[in-house]
Amino acid sequence: MVDNKHRRKPRRTPKKEAHGRNTSLSNFVNPEEDYASEKKSYESGAIDFADGSVFCPKCGRQDEVIERGVRKTKFRGDIQRYGCKRCRIRFLNEPFAHTWFPDWVYERVLEDAVNGLKDSQIAKNVNSEAIRRKENVKISSKTVINIKERAVEILWEFELRAPRKEKAAVWQIDDTPQPYSKKNEIDQKTRNDSADSKKEEWRFAWITNVLEEDDRYCLAQVTSEDRIATNSESAIRLALLRAKYGPQLVKCDGYKGHVKGVKAVLKHVEVDSRTKKEDYGHINRIERYHQTIRSLALKKRRHFRSIQSLNITAELVRLYYNFMRPHKSLNGMPPAKKAGIEYPYHEGLTWLELIRFAFVFLRKQRNSI
């Protein structure tokens, strides 16, 4: 039995039981036990996660890590620097390196993005919130994009590496059209110059999803400008990579592209394709998922600068749905919890709690990004 007091400040004291190669997540963090200290450190702006775990990004060990000075930042004050005695490197324990903002900025940006606000609007909201708080923070749309991309990057890697306990025998695949216009902010500024620029160029993107039927975890989401069978194929490939197992059955609607795409990857897996007429509720769970993402950021008549921008927002929504959003039919659990992914879920889990957990997890696994 490890003494808790001792566990929380392990940096200067080498510990035998906490070396970085231990792959069992259960003794990595105990959410109930550490939640109080975690919340405290979060509020005080400290960067350590839960039990104060800091792992060397090179060797993944904890027992050789020492505090080594601070880094001074304009918006966030002093940030603790760490060093590894073994690897002789210096590092920070921060997922958002290069953008040093107070925690609330990241939370606000990601929350607003999931709720469908434009990047420029998000930046405005943050800047006026900073004035209200009397804090010296000012961000641009470009910073908003950087924060969104970095969040997705870390959580993608975590999704890929995190072990899952449950396997779903049945997957559902479906696609949904997403209208978007390429009208950008420059157009808005010159709107009055000519009547023509008021005309928006509307296009359709196709979002193809793969969902685990039992736990409703959305394994993959592929965004494309054309409705082609390779979308379904890429979505299935991505789903296999993240699930780390194959399904026994894949359900889809009457669209032949799905059958072709699934068969291209899973040659021996049965594909059950039925039209709406044949079986109305055949793929109802993935249809519900599409409704949910529409009620969030992917509202109709949304403006996206590009398909990449649409994709990043759609991914944030997917991650939010999988990891953070309590699901009524899963007893208030999010799908990732139901799928047996270990992370410190609790009601009101924040983006930074999730991202920091993922970040420390990856460092421990020596998959630092």
* Chain residues in the site for Zn ion (CB under 5 A): 56, 58-59, 84, 86-87
CB nearer Zn ion, residue 84 or residue 130: 84
CB of 21 to Zn ion, least distance (A): 12
CB of 90 to Zn ion, least distance (A): 11
CB nearer Zn ion, residue 86 or residue 346: 86
Tokens of 226: 């054309």
CB nearer Zn ion, residue 60 or residue 261: 60
The HSE-up count of residue 297 (CA atoms within 13 Å, CB side) is 26
Long-range contacts: 255-259, Cβ < 8 Å, 24+?
255/175, 256/229, 257/227, 257/228, 257/229, 257/231, 257/232, 258/173, 258/174, 258/175, 258/229, 258/232
Please report the sign of the dihedral spanned by the C-alpha atoms of residue 305, residue 307, residue 310, residue 312.
Answer: negative
Tokens of 41: 């450190």
Which SS3 state, helix, strand or coil, does residue 342 take?
coil
Specify the pairing of strand 170-181 against strand 89-92: unpaired
CB nearer Zn ion, residue 61 or residue 118: 61
- What is the rounded (10 degree) CA torsion for 276, 280, 282, 288? 100
CB of 66 to Zn ion, least distance (A): 11
CB nearer Zn ion, residue 62 or residue 143: 62
CB of 14 to Zn ion, least distance (A): 13
- Whole-angstrom Cα distance, residue 145 to residue 42? 24
CB of 60 to Zn ion, least distance (A): 7
CB nearer Zn ion, residue 84 or residue 352: 84
CB of 11 to Zn ion, least distance (A): 13
